[in-house]
Amino acid sequence: MGCSISPLDKESDDYKMILKYLETTYEPVKVGDVEYKVSVDNIFVVESSACPSVDEIKKLPNRFLLWCGTQSSNLLRHLHRGFLPAICSLPVPEATRYGFTAVDRPEGFLVLAVASLGDVITEIKSPPEDTKSLEDKKVGVKGLGRKKTDESEHFVWQDDIKVPCGRLVPSDNKDSVLEYNEYAVYDPKQVSIRFLVGVKYEEKNAVMEPE
């Protein structure tokens, strides 16, 4: 498949960083009237020949480590072929909604990718009806949501990759149709899948019945 996947040491700085990133920016997933929380089972390091390396992405401008939303059924395709034709990178609450499978299948995966948004970042408050011009120009897009991560808590990883980790706070874009700040990259050469985060969805405030 042209891809290697290896477990990340749970005592490593990267493992602790990812846990902090998830726990700090997380809000419960709501499916119908039920809310779900997530717990991390395992984190895996990904090296895929279909994606540029992190070192290659580091040569590009405006680099971020971002949560990416995808259904678990699409993971093999992404690992084998990369994110095609585009990748939407989202805060944890949105990513967990994409990764949710079903009530009777509580396990899922979240993706962390290193992405370059390019020289110029286009900011929008609503999704464009036609993304073809954005795809043709290979521009990076930042959707301005009603919530954002607290910028005072952001930090950098591997010296120069921005990690927008922080508590979710209200933004100045109260009229936006987007709930959270979101990112989209339309050139697969600007995205490198770096980590798979295995998670388990659990009903919030669930009471276990005795057998």
What is the pLDDT, as a whole number, of residue 103?
52
- Is residue 114 included in any domain, yes or no? yes
Q: Is the pLDDT of residue 163 over 50?
A: yes
Q: Is the pLDDT of residue 35 over 90?
A: no
- Is residue 60 included in any domain, yes or no? yes
Q: Is the pLDDT of residue 65 over 70?
A: yes
Q: Is the pLDDT of residue 83 over 90?
A: no
Give the alpha-carbon dihedral of 131, 66, 112, 177, to 10 degrees: -50
Tens of pLDDT, residues 89-148: 666 756 656 555 555 556 778 889 999 988 888 898 887 777 777 777 777 889 899 999
Q: Cβ neighbours of residue 90 under 8 Å, at least 6 residues apart?
A: 66, 67, 68, 69, 98, 180, 182, 183
- Is residue 171 included in any domain, yes or no? yes
Give pTM, 2 decimals: 0.84
- Is residue 24 included in any domain, yes or no? yes
Reduce the DSSP state of residue 21 to 3 states and report it. helix
What is the pLDDT, as a whole number, of residue 106?
65
- Is residue 13 included in any domain, yes or no? yes
- Is residue 210 included in any domain, yes or no? no
- Is residue 207 included in any domain, yes or no? no
CATH of the domain at 144: 3.90.228.10
- Is residue 211 included in any domain, yes or no? no
What is the pLDDT, as a whole number, of residue 168?
92
What is the number of structural domains in the chain?
A: 1
User: What residue numbers bound the domain in which 149 lies?
Assistant: 3-202
